[in-house]
Amino acid sequence: MNSSYLLLPTLFISSILGITTHHNLPLMLALLLTLILITSFYSKQIHTIFIFLICFHCFTFGFRCYYYDQVWTTSYLAYKSFNQDIITGDYIVKEDISKTTTRYIITPIDSKVDLFLSTQNKHLTPNDHIRVKGTYYLPERPRNPGQFDSFRYQKQRKICGTIRAESITLISQRSQNLIKRIATYLRKHVHLIHKSSLTDPYSSLFSSLIIGDTHVALPRIMKHAFQQTGLLHLLVVSGSQVSLLSGIIFNLLRFSKIPLWICFFIISFINIIFYFMTGAGSSIFRAILMNQISIGLLCLNHRTPPLYALLFSAYIMVWVDPFYFWDIGAQLSFAATASLLFGVPIIQSLIKFKPIFVRQLTGLALAPFLFTSPLTLYYFNNISPISIISNFLVVGWIEWLVVLGFFSTLIGFIWYPLAFFINQTCFLMMFILWKFVQLLAKLRFGTIFIEQCHWIWILIIYCLLGLFFYLVSIKRKQMAWSLLIICCSSTIIFLFLKSTFKSNLVVTFLDVGQGDSILITTPYKKRILIDAGNAYKTSRSIVDKGKSVVTPYLKTLGINKLDMLIISHFDQDHVGGVASVLDQFQTNIIIDNNSQPNTELNTLIVAQNINRMSGLNHQIIMLEPDTYLEFFPPFLNCKNYCHSENNHSVVFKLIYKQFSVLFTGDLEQIGEEALIERYPNSLDSTVLKLGHHGSLTSTTKSFLEVVSPKYAVISSGRYNRFNHPHPTIIQRLSDYGIPYHRTDLSGGVSVSSNGYSFSISKFLKKSL
């Protein structure tokens, strides 16, 4: 093979090697040598200059990543001492990323990293020179499995924390460059056209379809429905919008007999403006690069394989910023584009349906699903089979809607009445679209959560997928189908055997701040959730631990259904996140203390027809052989004896062979005394979840003596205003020789047992 054909792919691969292995020089050298040997094998005439370019690229990209790491780490260590302290400094506003909250990216005058700025009332514009006084917050590492990694997210974007402003002083206003000023003006005018001709939420949906959702406050319920049905990609501006805009401009220019090279520069200028209009995301960057490459090759009257255009655009992106390689949006964008270029034609060749449009729609629905599902599986622990149906039925509809939307938006700049008329047709189309999306979103198991898998498995899936399409492309269809059948059969058998294998009992105490949430996983994979943390609204945002902590963890485990949800009591720090959990997961049974839930929660329970068991007496519920729950109500009629909702907590013991865990909710001293009186010989347990977050009102000496735990777990929030756990309780545990873990210090805590011995692990490790 001629070495010139290998130049671009090899340089791109060497760049990726440098990016991914910059922290490990021996590994980089080993992989680099392997790449050179493979290239030499395929090319009989590999020149010294070729080898030099490969090494140069690898080390250049590796050094750039290493340099960025060092700069960010230095800034992080410098800011670390100011965490949650008041700081004052001068900054330049870099970007407005406001949607529902006022939020900016700012650059310190004397630093090479950026910061987030969160404020309430101040309206700022990019390039403003401001003086900010506010509370600084470090980027946080996740404290539970599956939780969003703010630390990694900010590091990859060279952002080093958040300032919540108390006061902002505008020192001077600096004008933006011409292109950004034009882009800002056009974006605001587009939103104005849409808002004046359509009502919410359809105006927001329309803007999202035309120029993306980066600067659009799309209702959460609408965005969630599009996500559930695998249609969220429609709200991200990418190739279709860029191709449509460029096609309109290009044909108008060619109709005016303008030379090709002038067309290229005019379209380049318009694409740059459109890039900033849409929020300068990675997917639009990729789309514009490929568009420019295609037009440039047309001007040169030169043809090149689509793979080279795709690789060249990826190469330019990582050259501009090596961290684009880690950007999830960029990865999904390239996977979707590859599916359209290579997957759709091959799938269409396999389909024998007579109507051509059916074959086209099938290819357009199936190929992106196959190419992007491994990435969504890796990053989001789910696959969305419903997306095949939704994309098959909706993609054509959306294409026409986007075409009409583009024309009406362009006409709106010239003659608004005509744009208004066209937008009423678009409104009808969006109304039908939204009703259809809502209908699909209600289907259970449209999205299937799968247990988190290692990146090696994702690589294997892509290799097998590539092999399948390669075999089809070289007319080895029988071999390709055999490969597909073997892979599918092996996967089904593996999943079946895995579900039948017996494993350890695992109890995970999640760190939900000042609240409780615990997941029990039995040896045969029954899932029981106890409480779901807090949910409350602040002046700046809505905090929902059910959504931000509990739900991601359940998805990480591949849980699609909860066998049981136990609500210890209806205090907000225990039940606040339950609504978010019920919204995502089918639940068979809810056990609670017979208090009245709030209206929202009660509506969800009734709507989903969940079996509710309230106010259980002393009884046992068998889960599996050797595994059961034993309930210990402190009072027969709590309303007559309890002085608080805390003493009305559901108290029960999980028993697996010789191992047991006692859960006490927020039980206080009066409840503990009642338990001792009613069940003196039944409370001894291997592990004790301390009542009321380690409060002084719970965990009395007499209760510890009766339970006699070998280990204790305390669920409490960092920096909580109640000073939980109380120092007296900590000293009491030490006096009784009971080791313990605290979620405020250890993050999530997991207890695993085979029924005889047990081990405890914490999620938080030593870190930077």
3-class secondary structure per residue, 57-112: HHHHHHHHHHHHHHHHHHHHHHHHCCCCCEEEEEEEEEEECCCCCEEEEEEECCCC
Q: What is the mean pLDDT of the chain?
A: 86
**What does the pLDDT look like over 287-340, one tens digit per residue?**
899 888 888 888 888 777 788 888 888 888 888 888 888 888 888 888 988 888
- DSSP code, position 141: P
More confident residue, 491 or 590: 590
> Over 50: is that where the pLDDT of 32 sits?
yes
Give the whole-angstrom CA distance, residue 139 versus residue 151. 5
Quick one: tokens of 45? 């005439």
Going by C-alpha positions, the residue among 180, 139, 181, 137 that lies closest to residue 157 is: 139
Mean of pLDDT values over 1-19: 70
| pLDDT at site 236 | 79
| pLDDT at site 121 | 67
Quick one: tokens of 611? 């079996």
pLDDT band of residue 565 (cuts 50, 70, 90) is: very high
**What does the pLDDT look like over 642-665, one tens digit per residue?**
557 888 899 999 999 999 999 999
Give the whole-angstrom CA distance, residue 734 versus residue 736. 5
Amino acid identity at 580:
S
Task: List, in order, residues 6 or more apart from 357 with CB less than 8 Å away.
Answer: 396
More confident residue, 410 or 505: 505
Q: Please say whether the dihedral angle defined by the alpha carbons of residues 593, 599, 601 and 603, taken in this order, is positive or negative.
A: positive
Residue 676 CB-density burial (10 A; 0-12 exposed, 13-18 middle, 19+ buried): middle
Quick one: tokens of 758? 């047990």
| pLDDT at site 96 | 79
Distances in whole angstroms, Cα of residue 246 to Cα of each of 17, 193, 292, 406, 501: 34, 21, 9, 12, 56
Is 265 in contact with 292 (CB distance < 8 Å)?
Answer: no
Beta bridge partners of 527: 521
Residue whose tokens read 């997928």: 465
Is 617 in contact with 608 (CB distance < 8 Å)?
Answer: no
Q: Which of 3-17, 145-159, 227-241, 255-269 is least confident? A: 3-17
**What does the pLDDT look like over 717-765, one tens digit per residue?**
988 888 899 999 999 999 999 999 999 999 999 999 999 999 999 998 7
Q: Say how many C-beta atoms besides its own lie within 10 A of residue 142's C-beta.
A: 20
| pLDDT at site 732 | 94
Is 154 in contact with 139 (CB distance < 8 Å)?
Answer: yes
Q: What is residue 347's three-state secondary structure?
A: helix
Task: List, in order, residues 6 or more apart from 181 with CB less than 8 Å away.
Answer: 175
Mean of pLDDT values over 245-252: 85
Going by C-alpha positions, the residue among 201, 194, 190 that lies closest to residue 433 is: 201
| pLDDT at site 644 | 76
Distances in whole angstroms, Cα of residue 304 to Cα of each of 27, 309, 335, 730: 34, 7, 20, 70
**What does the pLDDT look like over 85-142, one tens digit per residue?**
888 888 888 887 776 567 888 888 877 788 888 887 667 888 889 899 999 999 988 9
Q: What is residue 106's three-state secondary structure?
A: strand
Give the whole-angstrom CA distance, residue 683 versus residue 691. 14
Q: Model pTM?
A: 0.88
Residue whose tokens read 């990053």: 379
Give the whole-angstrom CA distance, residue 242 versus residue 632. 64
**What does the pLDDT look like over 661-676, one tens digit per residue?**
999 999 999 999 999 9
Give the whole-angstrom CA distance, residue 500 versus residue 492. 13
**Backbone dihedral angles phi then psi of residue 200, each to the nearest 5 degrees:** -70, 145
**What does the pLDDT look like over 171-202, one tens digit per residue?**
888 777 888 888 888 888 998 999 999 988 89
Q: Say how many C-beta atoms besides its own lie within 10 A of residue 15's C-beta.
A: 23
> Over 80: is that where the pLDDT of 39 sits?
no
Mode of pairing for the β-strands spanning 159-172 and 114-119: parallel
| pLDDT at site 499 | 67
- DSSP code, position 738: -
Give the whole-angstrom CA distance, residue 493 versus residue 499. 10
Mode of pairing for the β-strands spanning 129-137 and 86-96: antiparallel
Is 700 in contact with 672 (CB distance < 8 Å)?
Answer: yes
| pLDDT at site 27 | 76
| pLDDT at site 46 | 56
Give the whole-angstrom CA distance, residue 187 versus residue 194. 11
Stretch (H or E) spanning 380 = helix 356-380
Output the furthest CA–CA distance in the chain (Å, rounded): 96
Give the whole-angstrom CA distance, residue 556 versus residue 545. 16
| pLDDT at site 1 | 47
Task: List, in order, residues 6 or more apart from 474 with CB less than 8 Å away.
Answer: none
Give the whole-angstrom CA distance, residue 233 versus residue 334. 13
pLDDT band of residue 689 (cuts 50, 70, 90) is: very high
> Over 80: is that where the pLDDT of 636 sits?
no
Give the whole-angstrom CA distance, residue 89 versus residue 600. 44
Question: Could you tell me where the beta strands, DSSP code E, fall in 212-254?
Answer: none
pLDDT band of residue 623 (cuts 50, 70, 90) is: very high
**What does the pLDDT look like over 382-405, one tens digit per residue?**
888 888 888 888 888 888 888 898
User: 261-274 burial, b for 16+ CB within 10 Å, e for fewer?
Assistant: eebbeebbebbbbb
**Backbone dihedral angles phi then psi of residue 620, each to the nearest 5 degrees:** -120, 135
> Quick one: what percent of the chain has pLDDT higher than 90?
30
| pLDDT at site 686 | 96
> Quick one: what percent of the chain has pLDDT higher than 70?
95
Is 710 in contact with 733 (CB distance < 8 Å)?
Answer: no
> Over 90: is that where the pLDDT of 556 sits?
yes
Is 754 in contact with 656 (CB distance < 8 Å)?
Answer: no
- DSSP code, position 646: G
| pLDDT at site 43 | 60
| pLDDT at site 768 | 44
Distances in whole angstroms, Cα of residue 625 to Cα of each of 261, 527, 562: 77, 15, 19
> Over 90: is that where the pLDDT of 33 sits?
no
Q: Say how many C-beta atoms besides its own lie within 10 A of residue 727's C-beta.
A: 10
| pLDDT at site 42 | 61
Q: What is residue 736's three-state secondary structure?
A: coil
- DSSP code, position 755: S
Mean of pLDDT values over 584-601: 87
Peptide bond into 345 cis (omega under 30): no
**What does the pLDDT look like over 49-83, one tens digit per residue?**
667 777 877 888 888 888 888 888 888 888 888 88
Q: Which of 22-36, 310-324, 572-586, 621-635 is least confident? A: 22-36
| pLDDT at site 747 | 93
| pLDDT at site 709 | 95
